[in-house]
Amino acid sequence: MMMTILSIIINITYFVVLNTNIYTDRAMMPTGEVREWHRSPITRLNISDQSFLVYLQIVLAAVSIITSVLFLFGVRSSKIRTIQWISTIGSTIVFIIIMIVTSNLHANYA
């Protein structure tokens, strides 16, 4: 029961972090001034055409949350539990990959 609630909270936290502006991008403009943008990991993935990672995160988180809600409503099946564990672990792995990839992205502004 505790893992079910924790799974829902973890996936919601992942989406909050992915939508928070935690990166600062700076680029030299043709006029010679430096422009600065504050971006979220999702925005940086969209700029670099790697948005498939966001979609993968959404799918895994949705499956995890749906199976957690089913488990909370009394569906006690070993298959549901297994799917919940796999999707929660997968969502965590994809979140870590997204954070690593976005920390190493440098968008070019030409």
- pTM (2 d.p.): 0.86
Please give the angle made by the CA atoms of 79, 81 and 83, to the nearest 5 degrees: 70
Q: 55 falls in which pLDDT band (50, 70, 90)?
A: very high
Q: 27 falls in which pLDDT band (50, 70, 90)?
A: confident
Q: 37 falls in which pLDDT band (50, 70, 90)?
A: confident
DSSP string, 44-74: HHHHTT-THHHHHHHHHHHHHHHHHHHHHTT
Residue 92 C-beta-side C-alpha neighbours within 13 Å: 11
pLDDT of residue 109: 56
Bridge partners (DSSP) of residue 28 are 34
Pairing between β-strand 23-28 and β-strand 34-39 as defined by DSSP bridges: antiparallel
